[in-house]
Amino acid sequence: MIGVRSLLRPPHLIQALLAVPKRHSNGARRIRFTASAGSAGVASDSESAHKRNVAELEIACPVCLQPLSSSGVTSLSPTLAAGSTFHCTTCQKQYKSNNGIFDLTISAPDYEDIVPFGVSFFQNPLIAFAYDRGYRDLFQILNFPGPDEEFKMAQEMLVPAHGQFIMDLSCGSGLFTKRFLASEEYNLVIGADYSEAMLEQCLGFLENETRKYMMNVVLMRADAGRLPFLTSSLAAVHAGAAIHCWPQPLTAVAEIARVLRPGGVFVASTYILPAPPFPLKSFYGLAGQIIAQAGLPFRLWSEEDLRALVLSCGFVNWTSTRRGIYVLFSATKPS
């Protein structure tokens, strides 16, 4: 691991991150994360600092999709957000930050929902601990090229989003989140996952390996099927080796389309299987349905199925790169 780095940041960036949010008519303040538009939100000199454009991101209540509010000045940076509490002025629900990780999921303390195995598996602290310490290396059996090469390939597809906001959805232990941060190509990187255990591992890796960029990252617990952002909030969404684990991929991809800005980019990797011979096609489909209903963390689908799923949610410009059964694809939201 890389040693701990300095936390010193340019004064203008600190001021931008701590900018006082706008006040609602009821006295509450709308939560906004502000960052300078430019490489990783950093102005290179005083002239660019004076001329910079300020980009704003508003998180939303996952129940009613209205902006969240707070009674005080709030930062979304993990280094400053510990203990923050937010509320929705519409449905009155509250959401808290735990050690800098925001929980923006719909949850009820006295109600236990049935969690699919594909979801609960990654909530296990042991799996979260092992994910970036050997577990992910097993993906090479499925022709995955390795994190560094995967990141390089994804970056080529994400060029239109450089200098803007990107969400690393189902970020796990931060395998790509930390790479997006260190690239300094994005104004803000949002690491989102449903697993608290994964997010805790992610926070630890970020603090150890990309500490000097911590003012440019937000970590949140979020449901891929109900993303806590206003419509047209993000420039890009990345999901590495994740879509096959989502209980309802169609719903999740539709949500991604909702939160992306016009022209926004969706980039994801997964694995696909060859189309079966005609006599086995019906059996193949039945097996896929059984696996999906069981909530297992994998899917039986072809590239044709995957492409149809993405395009059915309104995306265009499908492109893909294959390596055996590994596939990395991108699609854009119409402008």
- Per-residue pLDDT of 262-281, as tens digits, reads 999 999 999 887 766 666 66
- Better pLDDT: 76 or 309: 309
Q: Which residue has the higher pLDDT, 140 or 291?
A: 140
Phi, psi of 287 (to 5 degrees): -60, -40
Query: Residue 119: pLDDT above 80?
Result: no
At residue 288, the pLDDT reads 66
Determine the average pLDDT of the residues in 29-42: 44
Cα(first)–Cα(last) distance of the chain, in Å?
41
At 30 the three-state DSSP class reads strand
Q: Choose between 106 and 290: higher pLDDT.
A: 106
Please check whether residue 264 is in contact with residue 255, taking contact to mean a CB–CB distance below 8 angstroms: no
Better-scored residue on pLDDT, 315 or 274: 315
List the structure tokens of 153. Answer: 């390939």
To the nearest 10°, the Cα dihedral for 25, 26, 27, 29? Answer: -80
Beta carbons of 164 and 186 less than 8 angstroms apart: yes
Q: Are 70 and 85 in contact (CB under 8 A)?
A: yes
**Confidence at residue 107, expressed as pLDDT on a 0 to 100 scale:** 78
pLDDT at residue number 87? 87
Beta strand segments in the chain, E: 29-30, 33-36, 54-57, 68-70, 85-88, 94-98, 101-103, 165-169, 188-193, 217-221, 234-239, 260-271, 316-323, 326-332
Edge-to-edge, what's the strand order for the sheet holding 234-239? Answer: 29-30, 68-70, 85-88, 94-98, 101-103, 217-221, 188-193, 165-169, 234-239, 260-271, 326-332, 316-323
Q: Yes or no: say if 302 and 311 are a contact pair by the CB < 8 Å rule.
A: no
Among 33-37, 78-82, 87-91, 226-230, which range has the highest average pLDDT? 226-230
CA distance 254 to 91: 23
Work out the pLDDT band at 232, boundaries 50, 70, 90.
very high
Separation of alpha carbons 306 and 260, rounded Å: 19
Percent of the chain past pLDDT 70, that is, above it, reads: 70
pLDDT for the residue numbered 10? 38
Residues 294 and 287: their CA atoms lie apart, in Å, by 11
Alpha-carbon span 90 to 169, nearest angstrom: 26
Query: DSSP secondary-structure letter at 269?
Result: E
Residue 291: what pLDDT?
A: 66
Give the mean pLDDT of 206-215.
Answer: 90
Instruction: Determine the pLDDT at residue 270.
Output: 93
- Per-residue pLDDT of 53-83, as tens digits, reads 233 678 899 999 999 887 554 567 787 766 6
pTM: 0.79
The strand pairing partners of 223, in sequence order, are 226
